[in-house]
Structure 1
Amino acid sequence: MAVLPIIEDSSDELTAIFKDLHAHPEIGFQEVRTSAIVAEKLKEYGVDEVHTGLGQTGVVGIIKGNREGSRRIGLRADMDALPIHEETNLAYASTNAGVMHACGHDSHTTMLLGAAKHLAQTRDFAGTAVLIFQPAEEGLGGARDMLKDGLFDKFPCDEIYGMHNMPNGAPGTVGICKGAAMAGASFFDIKVKGKGSHAAMPHQSRDPLVIASALVGSLQTILSRNVPPLDTCVLSVTQLHAGSAYNIVPDTATLAGTIRYFKDEVIQLAETRIKELCAGFATAYSVEISVEIRNVFDVLMNDSDLSDAYMEAASDIVGKENISGTDEPATGSEDFADMLKVVPGAYCRIGHSGTTGLHNPSFFLDPDVLPVGASIMARIVERRLSA
């Protein structure tokens, strides 16, 4: 492992930052404390410019190399946590009840700070590094908010790179999927408005719970009978809410969930069938059913040549034997995809100890990965701005 010296010497500091962020997680667009720490550290490290408030709580840092150059390389990390109650029993576990860094964004923020410290001290590149600390990645549209605020108009980039931790029990490994690497996603909300009654007299009702339950099963036929077998689509109903007492048939029931996809025609088909099924159920049961579907994530597209460049930079740190350029696409989603629609770039995964999955209350991220990820992010800037 060839961790960059300044970053290696800062390992204890990076671990302390990571543990502090982990202990004080903040939901998307509420990362006030986190963004303040980021801005303070960037200034402490001697970053040339520090801009706050982009996309509400986003931060952007600018570092100029010690040689003239017009090219600009972007590095991006997300900062938000999830509405999950932590169950790790770590000494630095979340102090905010019901909020947890269960996806590793605290590590992403820390890694980019480590890269910033190295780049600001060495400046061994020709051009400019643009450091983007993004809020609200977890389905709240943080990337889109930053773009709406003029992210790449104010801070143009020729290329941009991101990274995500992977709890695969294989520390020091780095992988990438060229092309369509992560699924696009839409969220849906369905409301069944029936007719309530006394639970002892259900014949007087139009029971929305029975209708909603049947609808959950029917929605799965979209995958089994509508989506072509060789196309990837995931449709998960993740919420069903109804009722307030043991002896009341409720008036309403609500469903919510997500669709993941890699092709526009697949998401269009799925959305159409959801609306058609809901309309059919409304007619069959003489109730009202409303449907709201909203796109939240685009398909994440990794540029092939820049993926190769990213893996070359990573191999400088972890060795070629720990690099994979043929990872499979993931049905998870990532709003870095919105930035990649504007600026070409690549997004890789870095392995670490621990195998509890993401978005789990027992998720654990080994801090040993921090200097590795930070070094890779710094190295891609140095490689791409070497001339």
Structure 2
Amino acid sequence: MDAFFAQHHDQLTQLRKEFHKNPELGFEEFKTSQKVKEILTELDLPFVDNIGTTGIVATVNGKQPDNGRRIGLRADMDALPLHEKSPHAHRSTNEGCMHACGHDGHTTILIAVAEYLAQHRDFSGTIYLIFQPAEEGRGGGDAMVKEGLFTRFPMDEVYGLHNWPYIPAGKIAVLDGPAMAAGDRLSITVKGLGGHGGATPHLTVDPIRISAQLVTALHSIVSREVSAMDQAVLSLCAIQSGELEAFNVIPDTAQVNGTVRTFIPEVQDLMEAAIKRTCAGIAQSFGAEITVDYERIIPATVNDPACAQFVRDTIIDEFGKQALDLKTKPTLGGEDFSYMLNQVPGAYIFLGSGRHEHDHPLHSPHFDFNDAVIPIGAKLLASTAIRAVNRQD
């Protein structure tokens, strides 16, 4: 397996750079999915497309007697609405859109797995290759599940990975239980009564003043209402109100938006209730109207402990004990692979891709996937799938 991926590394690197030059946003990955389908066709692997708009599922049947086992591997394909600032030759040609999270690399890794499995089918059962659209907040995982991913392609387990520049390349982390947080969107509308900021401020219900109180009050919820043994984040990330040129005009309304991150449903429920209660109290005390739109966008990504241990065992057997990273903690970032893990047991893997301590982070306009980890990620997924599909419980 090592020799196969080493032999194809240059070709896969060029493919990854091609994906990087041609990024597409969620549910718009038409060229990306077309390229994937062309490669699957060349490999003579059957696939079903248009699952969740641009999603694809390819099927690889083993040549050994079918044992009824079905294992899924997933990669995401979409990019982010960012203006790339990297100087390299393969920078984005789609202005305002770039692969700042490494999904170009994830897609390439799963294609590498497809190429290997197409030639090496000495296993029982079936391996499904899931090319998912719209991971970046647009609900592609949810769309695929709702369009019958697991009813059309029943799976015993499903695995996915994400490049992780915060871990050195060559290291791999797999956590038990929560790996990534639920991501909720918070939108608060403050309706007051505008007027003259100099002559008659006492006749107004100032939404800017009220918004300032909201910032202070809401940011204290985590420190005083969530147990120190639990984890939660509340960040108010945008406030819009009034016109900068209208220096003496108190506006009628203000908008305060942010995000909430939690790992367990009980804390998520607590956060939503506390936010709504706090907003209602401030509205009453200031004589304003405050509406809260609390949207639960992405559930927490929770690994099945048995599947996580299975991957750790695979890492040790295939790469050596030194490759296993035991220091990485759950992250409060969100990941809609969670929709798949809510339906089928599996695990989400952090593939170390860090080059040095000052490497660009995910979602940076300077980020570029580390092509050196393509063979590592491909071997990891291929080995995990083959071992899982051959396993007899």
TM (norm. structure 2) is: 0.93
* Shift, 1:169, TM fit: 5.6
Q: Quote the offset at 1:356 in angstroms.
A: 1.9
- 3-state SS, counterpart of residue 372 of structure 1: helix
Native 8 Å contact 2:61 2:125 kept in 1: yes
Let me know the Cα RMSD of the aligned residues.
1.7
* Structure 1 gap ranges (5+): none
Query: Would you say 1:229 and 2:228 are equivalent positions?
Result: yes
2:136 alignment partner in structure 1: 138
The DSSP-based 3-state class of the residue aligned with 1:385 is: helix
Aligned pairs, number: 384
SS state at 1:131 partner: strand
8 Å CA contact 1:174, 1:349 repeated in 2? yes
Match of 2:242?
243
Gap change, CA 1:202 and 1:349, over 3 Å in 2:
farther
Q: Which amino acid aligns with 1:140?
A: R
Equivalent pair of 2:187/2:294 in contact (CA under 8 Å): yes
The alpha-carbon distance between structure 1 residues 105 and 329, as it changes in their structure 2 partners (threshold 3 A), is: same
Distance 2:196 2:97 in 1: 38
User: TM-score scaled to structure 1, two decimals?
Assistant: 0.94
- 8 Å CA contact 1:7, 1:117 repeated in 2: no
1:63 aligned residue: 60
What do the CA deviations read for 1:321-340 (whole angstroms, capped 9, x no partner)? 11135642222221111111
The one-letter code of the counterpart of 2:148 is G
* Paired amino acid for 1:58: G
1:378 aligns with 2:379: no
> What's the counterpart of residue 332 of structure 2?
331
The whole-number CA distance in structure 2 between the counterparts of 1:238 and 1:113 is 37
Counterpart position of 1:6: 4
Task: Kindly indicate whether the alpha-carbon contact (under 8 Å) linking 2:168 and 2:352 is maintained by their aligned counterparts in 1.
Answer: yes
Is 2:245 the partner of 1:258?
no
**Is the CA contact 2:69–2:390 (under 8 Å) kept in the aligned structure 1?**
no
Choose which of 174, 177, 190 in structure 1 pairs with 2:175: 177
The answer to whether the 8 Å contact 2:193/2:205 transfers is yes
Structure 2 counterpart SS, 1:301: strand
One-letter amino acid matched to 1:369: V
Post-superposition CA distance 1:103-162 (Å, at most 9, x none): 111111111011011001111211111011111111221111111101000011111101
Moved more, 107-116 or 316-325: 316-325
Whichever residue aligns with residue 386 of structure 1, its letter is: N
Distance 1:100 1:242 in 2: 31
What is the deviation of 1:317? 4.0
**Cα distance between partner residues in 2 of 1:149 and 1:285:** 47
Residue of structure 2 equivalent to 1:210: 209
Q: CA deviation at 1:212?
A: 1.6
Residue identity opposite 2:129 in structure 1 = L
CA distance in 1, matches of 2:235, 2:258: 5
Retained in 2: the 8 A contact 1:353–1:365?
no
The CA deviation string for residues 174-233 of structure 1, in whole angstroms up to 9 with x for no partner, is 111111222222111111122333454461533322222321121111111111121111
Helix, strand or coil for the counterpart of 2:125?
Answer: strand
Determine helix, strand or coil for the equivalent of 1:352: strand
Tell me the alpha carbon deviations over residues 342-380 of structure 1, each in whole angstroms, 9 at most, x when there is no partner. Answer: 111111111113422212222232111112101111111
Per mean C-alpha deviation after superposition, the further-off stretch among 196-205 and 229-238 is: 196-205
Deviation at 1:85, TM superposition (A): 1.6
CA contact (8 A) 2:9 2:375 kept: yes
Partner of 2:311: 310
- In the TM superposition, residue 297 of structure 1 has moved relative to its aligned partner by 1.7
Any gaps of 5 or more consecutive residues in structure 2? none
Secondary structure of 2:170's counterpart equals: coil
Question: Distance in 1 between the 2:268 and 2:200 partners?
Answer: 37
